[in-house]
Structure 1
């Protein structure tokens, strides 16, 4: 029996990249996976990108799971409500929620100071990559409360609280980490665990094209950027999510941010090619400085705030 056989998952933002890798690896582990996004056959939603949610669902099927493609704009509450109502009607529950909605590549500009950048683009980035996560969790988490064990995974970039080089981007990615923490505090008396997860240098479809390589010869991309040699395929973060979902003690990780490479060492999974890339170790070697993560000590100041101390029974219902 596969480790996630019989489990019901929703991967919000499953069209390509990390989301597709996560959906397909949940399928490989036996799960039924609702694959959502805006790009469907004949109606691309992201410029010239060809990937669709139907393709993702078909890969889930090919891996041994069951893929269900549903077109959803996760910024529209009525569409999110309809999606969750469908999952409740068809499955009776939800076990795994992965929020991987992004859509900010064309909005992010590294280099210029924040006062020289477009506030409208920054607002749009927040709406696409933070509000959508919160809105989806708002309607999906109630489907998880009656189950044996639920898991909410917030996909971010980076497993530290360090600055990410662009103010809007930094606020978005740290907001997602904080969202996982905040949800974990409100879910602490339930059977649902919320946490955040980052991939490393991700070889998404677009990244491979930018480097002029394929997954078969990706190492050739190191000639363009030597750091590319430490990159990982979307399978890696997908297997990280599958390992977390299969772990009966995942609740011990509630509220924190983790990385694909650290979880690979903990759970023993590999990337698609059998390797175990470790961005943290590579960074330390390449830059001669320690790679710092948001470990248990880093989260100390986030816990036992005035609200929790003054009203330990919140939320009330």
Structure 2
């Protein structure tokens, strides 16, 4: 079958191990399903896989792709949930100590076919395109959990989204606006700030800029470069929700500010199947749709990888079949 896969890990030059070619057809164990992939979106996790992070060398070659959408053998249209759990686990799937993501142990979605446990597919509403649905399982699910589960954000509150041009950040802006939050966002270029404004941000600022006031919550995927600004932006008792650190994972501790203002720092990772189901319903009811910055046929996947590696994002990058 056709697939986009990592042939070998390369920490220094991740695209050196990227192959667009053929892989064997997968077998379908009992209790699992085969999804005929129609669209799948690119995530930073795919670049980490190419670097060999979170995956052992003997697990290569590995088909890339953490999420997507497609059809089952009976024609049912489905969305993929990329968190894979131990079959005996009960409760929040993200807390399972044995949980993995697609491409860590199981082959991913950048292929004609992906094989998954049956519980890892959800019905796709007819009104949601395959391209839009392919954006939900990683970036949009991460943003949904950050906003509504971890920050418990309420309509009327003010939030700050740092680095608002990538998949998670654009989802945070769109979801926050749709949920009745005042959304402020930072962007390192005029184009990125303009994008955040078009997506609904009520105010856009250069990184580190003085804000009009303090915020109830800050959403972090940037890390070291923006951390001090995030801490200074919070109201007393406010919360930073962090799901990534694209500029480095060793920010200043800011401990005096942390305890003096009784701030909260919360980690967030992907989301549960129930949260994904709620997110899909939210989009179906509201008509909200993901910001897709680049859509390519899967055969041209390398172009999408190069755009992400170069920071040339304006929303999600989606590959279609």
Above 0.5 in TM-score?
A: no
Q: TM-score, normalised by structure 2?
A: 0.28
The structure carrying a bigger helix percent of its residues is 1
Q: TM-score, normalised by structure 1?
A: 0.28
The structure carrying a bigger strand percent of its residues is 2
